Amino acid sequence: MKLTNIFYSILMGAFLLLLAACDKGKDDFLYKGDMLPITIKGYNGSSGNLEIKVDTIKFKSEFPRGSSNLSDAYTFQANENSVKVTVTEKATGKLVLEKEIKKEDGPATISFFYLDGKVSDMPEIPAVEPGKLKISYMFKPTLTGYSQPVDIALIKYYFTPKVAEEITRIRNVKPNEFSELITIPTFSTASQPYNGQNTSVLFLVYIYKAGTNEFYTEGTGYTWHVTSSTAPKPAASAAASKLYIFSESQAANSIRFIKDLEL
């Protein structure tokens, strides 16, 4: 019994010494300063990644080409109330944007739109209205290098008779620039009669040489497929307000499109 008491006393003594040591060094482990969440979001239209720094500390991830939404956190040191955030092109070191954020403002969100070496605010998207489709486009001819204005035509395609019925078009759209916003009524793509025969309906978006009904791919070495070559678009039957940036890809020599950004 005496041996047990001695062992217990030794054990308690060791525990108290450990507790005292931890208490003595607790300042070494306490979190000093405030952690500020920082979100960087937007569109990178450059040829490579962007590098983000908060003060001299790199974000844990680089901002890739296209759209992205990145988050990290910065710990303010004692007596530090603000910090500078910089975004640069990784390959060239070119400064894209610089912004000071303050601890007192709380969690920070920085958004930007970077294209053709210029930075601006992200585009505003109009409110959704029942029964309407609102769409704006930016066309980037990354394969063909097509440099002339185009018409972007919204098409109702009746599959069985293979008839393309134009709803409307956005005229004289310059490559790499946003088009005007266009509005059309929503419509059903369910099976429906056409000239007495039921047919499925597709919502397609064609691109013509401006002022013509000739596909812009004529003379480029690429062909246009009547149902697979279509710019991005929302569902035809549900109200929506959308902005798309899209670029070219291919299937064999048939033109296809990649949706780079959808807002």
CB 69 within 8 A of CB 39: yes
**Residue 213 included in any domain:** yes
- Residue 45 CA from chain centroid, whole number: 10
Place of tokens 């060791």: 14
Question: 232 and 155, same structural domain?
Answer: yes
Specify if 196 maps to a domain. yes
pLDDT given for residue 26 in this prediction: 40
Q: How far apart are CA 206 and CA 227, in angstroms?
A: 9
Q: Please give the residue range of the domain that contains residue 251.
A: 132-262
Which one-letter DSSP state was computed for residue 210?
T
Q: Are residues 138 and 250 in the same domain?
A: yes
Would 26 be classed as within a structural domain?
A: no
Residue 171 and residue 95 share a domain = no
Instruction: Say what the pLDDT of residue 146 is.
Output: 97
Is residue 115 situated within a structural domain? yes
pLDDT of residue 33: 52
CA distance 27 to 23: 8
**Would you state the pLDDT for residue 24?**
39
- List the chain pLDDT tens, one digit each, 263 residues: 444 444 445 445 544 444 444 443 443 333 345 789 999 999 998 989 999 999 999 999 999 988 899 999 999 988 889 999 999 999 999 999 999 999 999 999 999 999 889 899 888 889 999 999 999 999 999 999 999 999 999 999 999 999 999 999 999 999 999 999 999 999 999 999 999 899 999 999 999 999 999 999 999 999 999 999 999 999 999 999 999 999 999 999 999 999 988 99
> What is the reported pLDDT for 47?
87
Under a CB-based contact definition with an 8 Å cutoff, are residues 178 and 137 in contact? yes
| Alpha carbon distances (Å) from 99 to 39, 43, 64, 159 | 13, 17, 20, 52
Which class for 194: exposed (0-12), middle (13-18), buried (19 or more C-beta within 10 A)?
Answer: middle
Q: Which of 243, 237, 239 is nearest to 201 (CA)?
A: 237
